[in-house]
Structure 1
Amino acid sequence: MMKMTKAIAAALGLALTATTVLAAGVHPGKESIEKSGYKGPETCEECHPGSAKGFLDTVHWKHASKVTNVEGIDAKVEYGMKNRIYVMCNGNDIVNNLKEIPKSPVTGKSKFSGCNTCHPGNHLSDVGSTGAAAEAAVDCLVCHSTDYDFRQRKPFKNEKGEVVMGQDRSTKAALAIGKPTVKNCMVCHEAAGGGVIVKRGFSFTKDTDAHAAKGMVCVDCHKAKDHKMPTGHDPNNWANDGVFVSCADTSCHGVKPHKDADLNRHCAKIACQTCHIPRTGGAFAKDFTVWEQTPDKFYEPTTLKKEANETTPVYAWYNGTVKNTPHFIGPKGSKKDGKSKITPFKIFQGKAYYNKQTGELLSMDFAQPMSDGDTRAGVLSAAKTLGLKNPEKIAKEAVPGWQTIYFGSNHLVTKTKALYCANCHAPNGVLNFKDLGYSDKEIVKLTSPELFMEKLAQKQKEEW
């Protein structure tokens, strides 16, 4: 009996100790790290066995997945940043692999560039790699440390001349591990597509997003399990971990998020984002056939962009499936299919080179055009890398053309500036009911103050 009492007391003591440590916000394993230092994933696996191997099967490592909702692609092939060709980037991890570009003819200087710069490995074990070396190369701290020195995460050449991506594996960084912060995520996601607020066109701050104003961070909504990251549905966001997140999830707002029954009825046909994300931002046009010289005398594709909350979205029916052609990537859906909702999108248009013979969009290796502005040299290099027949002829005869892409508007959420009745149900409202498939008779009814006169009059009285 005495032994049992001592055992229970010891167990309670350990539990209290663990509770105290967790309550203080200190990640378990601190003493081990302080004593032995941080040795990469093998240190993490003392408490999280198998996590590195599991991470190799995620989108963040593979930059690709099987895609089931996009037309015109092979369902057996994995697609993503690894191999997609589209005009927001025009390169991918394969053709625009991280490398040292040719020296600028003006300054004689070079630099490193590549689409896989944000890959959480060391580049020696690159996108989609597997095995023990890949497991050891995972940069756990770039996502999980609040004291990561991002100055160390830069490419360099080792003694063999191989390009290596540096990592901060310091004890200091390891002692600051925990749930990923907004900064951990936005280091890559905010600057995707060629610079800050270019691709997605949003900033996640208390001034720009209602969730951030509440103190939430990215992973409060995008809650990963075994590093499988839930994502929303976006016509241009193909690769996924097979798990998805929605405002209507029961763990978030549910299917009836409002106290007002009229507003809840709208949720059956209107996406939450339509009212609560009335603006977006970022690049709205790029020209990969003409690159502009930057102050450092290197070149970048000509880009037109707006700041967050400066762009008015367009609205279309969306049922989660995607139309995909060489000149258009966008939502599929209709008023009558019973699955679609009216959803906001940012329209992006990009100009790039097309194969004269096949009409297919061509990709580009950025190394040469970044050095001297020679865009066809970039097309030639990519064609050779992909093993296309007669790459010289393809590059020489390539024809410039435009592709339009619909980007989902899923951030910059507002409650105080959300659209209300008169913003949509008016002759000059934000919704083009004609384009959305409504008849003239329906439009007359939908744009009449009769729909909302009493409700808005009462709301106006309360506010005034």
Structure 2
Amino acid sequence: MKSSVSVAAVLLALGLAALPARGAEHPGKEALEKNGYHGPESCEECHPGTAAAFLETVHWKHASKVSNVEGLDPNKEYGMKNRIYVMCNGNDIVNNLKEIPKSPETGKTKFSGCNTCHPGNHLSDVASTGPEAQKAVDCLVCHSSDYDFRQRKPYKDAEGRVVMGQDRSTKAALAISKPTVKNCMVCHEAAGGGVVVKRGFSFTKETDAHAAKGMVCVDCHKAKNHRMPTGLDPNNWATDGLLVSCADTSCHGAKPHKDADLNRHTARIACQTCHIPRTGGAFAKDFTVWEQGSDKFYEPTTLKKEANETTPVYAWYNGTVKNTPHFIGPKGSRQDGKSRITPFKIFQGKAYFEAKTGNLLSMDFAPPMANGDTRAGVASAARTLGMKDPEQVAKNAVPGWQTIYFGSNHLVTKSKSLSCANCHAPNGVLNFKDLGYSDAEIVKLTTPELYLKKLVEKQKEEW
């Protein structure tokens, strides 16, 4: 962008360095109106080097080194770029954005791929580097409150290449702000095959106490140089190395309650256990049998629950993860001194496993999406991954189930949080036996003696 008064100069004059708050005018409005928006090069008038730095983040690479999951090579990077698990049964490699085969019944085709949320143009794809990749970054998909998401769709260019469209309009650029809930949720809410499917939550004032206060995603997930803090979800392997925690002093701290009895629980009980009593999302998927929809294309058979519809399962969790072909979930115990009782959303998926090794096989969704042939999808993925004799791998593949524990970290409630009687009762939500407590300890933990007086006093106040 060339201008007698550059955007950078305007920023300097105003003494501003960060993005404006939602609803505030973006510095440099006149320069943008005069010169138009030209992608990252326009942004770098004020934020030099940002595009190159963004290429090193998880949002671009879809992978990182992982230190808390068993069985992984500490020198390699893992994430949606390359891992295989039964929520998706594929990754950015085998299910790269592409045009799938035509439906035998309608003759129609469509674009599909796991990396449709990648903030690039697909020509510069997941983990790409260099000047062209920097130019391809879609800054506005996260940073414009007036982004036209209808333009964010794939198409074929004049050379027949699949391109992911972007809204690079001046109108969108003039609406620059910190990311809104919609900017985040357009990808994160719809991941895994549809709205609410993967994580099982929606972030609205009706479903989350933080949203009800007017907070947005980045109020907790405060990025540093576009590196996003995340929680310790057993299924969320790739991270930017930053942790978000309720116990952070800028949030609730280690002693969040006025009640000392409740504060004593925080050493052994995760905040989410009491304050996220419900979950939702996909309950189970069968990738070995795909169902035909009204458009004549196929999708894996899926049992889905709405947000707040299902009860979590509770387990000790110390931040490390058990990882086997049939189970991905929390490790921990009441004896290790690091674990807390934590809630999880359980998901189970059926897919194909390699007959010789027992390892989970990936699936290219293009064949089954067009005609329902799931083993053709396994063969195509095996071919892409360079496996020997892909057709034989698919023919001998064995159907089986994998169980995944997803972290239950949203749908926070204060008014409907668990109380003493929800846990410390013989029919309470916590299975103390499974959590490693002895029969004698369970008797002590499930008596009204622990909470009767306090709850009766509270009951008097409420009545």
When the two structures are superposed, what TM-score results if normalisation uses the length of structure 1? Answer: 0.96
- CA deviation digits over 1:139-197, x for unaligned, max 9? 00000001000111100011111000000000000000110000000000000000001
AA at the equivalent of 1:271: A
Residue 23 of structure 1: how far off its partner (Å): 11
Question: 1:317 aligns to what SS in structure 2?
Answer: strand
Tell me: CA distance 1:60–1:18, structure 2 relative to 1, closer, same or farther (3 Å).
closer
Q: Show the counterpart of 1:381.
A: 380
Contact 1:257 1:264 in 2 (8 A): yes
Q: Does 1:144 align with 2:137?
A: no
Q: Which residue of 2 aligns with 1:5?
A: none
Deviations 1:264-318 (A, max 9, x none): 0000000000000000000010000000001111000000011000010000000
Query: What is aligned with 2:461?
Result: 462
Conserved? CA contact 2:22–2:177, under 8 Å:
no
> Alignment partner of 2:149: what SS?
coil
What SS does the corresponding residue of 2:115 show, helix, strand or coil? helix
Partner of 1:418: 417
- For 1:254-403, list aligned pairs within 5 A: 254-403=253-402
Structure-1 residue corresponding to 2:126: 127
User: Structure 1 304/264 Cα, relative in aligned 2: closer, same or farther at 3 Å?
Assistant: same
The 3 A distance-change label for structure 1 pair 448 and 328 is same
Structure 1, 23-32 or 353-362: larger mean CA deviation: 23-32
Q: Which amino acid aligns with 1:357?
A: K
Letter of the 2:85 counterpart: Y
Query: What is aligned with 2:158?
Result: 159
Q: Which runs of 5+ in 1 are unaligned?
A: 1-10
Query: Do the aligned partners of residues 410 and 24 (structure 1) sit closer, same or farther apart at CA in structure 2, a change above 3 Å counting?
Result: closer
The code of the aligned residue for 1:323 comes to: K
CA distance in 2, matches of 1:449, 1:23: 49
Amino acid at match of 1:26: E
Relative to structure 1, the CA distance from residue 50 to residue 352 in structure 2 (aligned partners, 3 Å threshold; closer, same or farther) is same
Distance 2:21 2:223 in 1: 20
Contact 2:22 2:178 in 1 (8 A): no
Question: Using the alignment, how far apart are the partners of 2:96 and 2:377 within structure 1?
Answer: 12
Equivalent residues, number: 452
For 1:297, the aligned partner's letter is K
Deviation at 1:73, TM superposition (A): 1.0
Match of 2:239 in 1: 240
For residues 212 and 18 of structure 1, what CA distance do their matches in structure 2 show? Answer: 27
Deviation at 1:52, TM superposition (A): 0.3
TM-score of the superposed pair, with normalisation by structure 2: 0.96
* Structure 1 contact 293–299 (Cα < 8 Å) conserved: yes
Task: Give how far 1:18 is off.
Answer: 10
**Amino acid across the alignment from 2:145:** T
Equivalence map 1:9-158=2 (5 Å): 14-15=13-14, 25-158=24-157
- Give the Cα separation in 1 of the matches to 2:17 and 2:325: 56
Q: Check whether the contact 1:22–1:28 (CA below 8 A) recurs between aligned residues.
A: no
- Amino-acid identity (%): 82
Distance in 2, matches of 1:371 and 1:239, equals 31
- Please give the alpha-carbon distance, in whole angstroms, between the structure 2 residues aligned to 1:160 and 1:72: 42
**Amino acid across the alignment from 1:107:** T
1:204 partner SS:
coil
Give 1:242 deviation, angstroms.
0.5
Question: Match of 1:439?
Answer: 438
> 1:277 touches 1:412 (CA, 8 Å); kept in 2?
yes
Distance in 2 between residues matched to 1:106 and 1:227, nearest whole Å: 45
Q: CA RMSD in A?
A: 1.6
Query: Following TM superposition, by how much is the alpha carbon of 1:30 offset from its aligned partner in structure 2, in angstroms?
Result: 1.1
**Amino acid in the other structure paired with 1:382:** A
Q: Secondary structure at the match of 1:151?
A: helix
One-letter code aligned to 2:73: D
